[in-house]
Amino acid sequence: MRRRGTKKLWVSVCAALMAAAVLCGCTKSGDGTKETSVKAAAETIKGPESGDKAGDKPEDKTAASAAYPEKEIQCIVTAAAGGGTDAMARAVCTPLEKTLGKAIVIINNGSASGLVGMGDIADADADGYTLGVFSNTDVANFVYGAGECDFTTEDFTYIAGLNTTGDILVLKKGTDMNGLEDFIQKAKEKPGEMTVALPSAIQNLSLDLMNEKMGIVTTGVVYEGGNKVLADLLGGHIEAGILSAKFISQAQEQDLNVLGIMLSERLGTFPDVPTFAEQGYGIANPAIRMLVGPKGLPDSVVDVLVENLKQGYDGEIRDSVSGIDEEPALLTGPELDAFLKEDFAMRKAMLTK
């Protein structure tokens, strides 16, 4: 808020005090008129308390958000329509708006791979009417790996993790490699010659972790999305690919060999896919898509959203998320904070080395 002129304010105060003093001097005892003290007059027109900006009314965020939400909410999705992040946002927000009683309008802004959309969320008013959906991997990649970035991981309020997923390693159709050990052996025989397709640059971290933990050297080739990686795997044009767990069903239906998932535990939705950890390679690169807001979102707003999410994850939201082949997993409060603290530290170490 702009600072109003303090000089004008104090001129008004002094004038009022003088007027009150004159009234007091003119008042006669017993004439039925109440005496008006200078102190009372000053209290009536008292300016802002010490420490507040002159002329500014202190903001009461608790009162402002007591009836939240009072109007529609905008949700910025940092990806184009039709992708995994967009599908997750709609799977959560469509049921959520029913319990909140106000519309949630999805705004897709995937410009610069989501960088612009994240900036819009960070710059929004912290009133609860501009939220967003992106993943821990997305924001960490920009902050720690992309160079110039106008925001940090601390410029957001992390309301809730919505799902849990991880990348998978898939072999091409018709390969002579029967399993993970065959893949590792072949990669070791010809260091750097085996190519691994990646749906985006973000999967470079998964590739680096895989190479490090398996003691191999493979070369990543970045594609424009998982569907194109899957198509080339089916066509036998590439030897292996890293995909998100969302593609497990399609890969299995096409008889592709899914070697493992980069999580500490198997997904409940795909219990037949082993983790790399249980195969002796401690590769964990968990990804969660999150409902977020700008930094400084009032606790009362966060509480309303979390409470409604908890209701939804006991019913319609859980079913909706499962319906898009994602693992529903609501993570909030201290548990979410602890996860992100450890996760961002790991990604910072990997992306800045």
pLDDT digits (tens, 9 = 90+) for 164-206: 999 999 999 888 898 999 999 999 999 999 999 999 888 999 9
Give 50's contacts (C-beta < 8 A, 6+ positions apart).
none
pLDDT of residue 82: 85
Predicted TM-score (pTM) of this structure: 0.76
Long-range Cβ contact pairs of 184-193 (< 8 A, separation 24 or more): 184/214, 184/215, 184/216, 187/214, 187/216, 187/217, 187/218, 188/215, 188/216, 191/216, 191/217, 192/217, 192/218, 192/219, 193/219
State the total domains in the chain: 2
Indicate whether 266 and 322 sit together in one domain: no
| 32 domain-assigned | no
Q: Which domain holds residue 138?
A: 70-164+287-351
Q: How far apart are CA 93 and CA 106, in angstroms?
A: 8
Q: How far apart are CA 88 and CA 320, in angstroms?
A: 9
Tokens coding 294: 């700008």
Indicate whether 234 and 331 sit together in one domain: no
CB of 328 within 8 A of CB of 317? yes
Q: Which residue has the higher pLDDT, 20 or 217?
A: 217
Q: Which residue has the higher pLDDT, 38 or 105?
A: 105
Task: Tell me the pLDDT band of 303, cut-offs 50, 70 and 90.
Answer: very high
Tokens coding 9: 């304010």
| Tens of pLDDT, residues 66-90 | 689 999 999 999 998 988 899 999 9
Residue 239's CATH number: 3.40.190.10
> Of 236, 251, 279, which residue is a domain's last?
279
Indicate whether 341 and 274 sit together in one domain: no
pLDDT of residue 231: 95
As a whole number, mean pLDDT of residues 105-134 equals 96
pLDDT of residue 66: 63
Report which residue type is found at 55.
G
Q: How far apart are CA 347 and CA 139, in angstroms?
A: 10
Indicate whether 195 and 246 sit together in one domain: yes
Instruction: Rounding to the nearest 10 degrees, give the CA dihedral for residues 9, 14, 20, 24.
Output: 160
Indicate whether 160 and 173 sit together in one domain: no
| 19 domain-assigned | no
Indicate whether 160 and 187 sit together in one domain: no
| 13 domain-assigned | no
As a whole number, mean pLDDT of residues 297-323 equals 97
> Of 225, 252, 279, which residue is a domain's last?
279
Q: Could you give phi then psi for residue 264, rounded to 5 degrees?
A: -80, -20
Indicate whether 158 and 303 sit together in one domain: yes
Which of 33-42, 56-65, 250-259, 274-283 is predicted least confidently? 33-42
Indicate whether 293 and 271 sit together in one domain: no
Indicate whether 173 and 265 sit together in one domain: yes
| 223 domain-assigned | yes
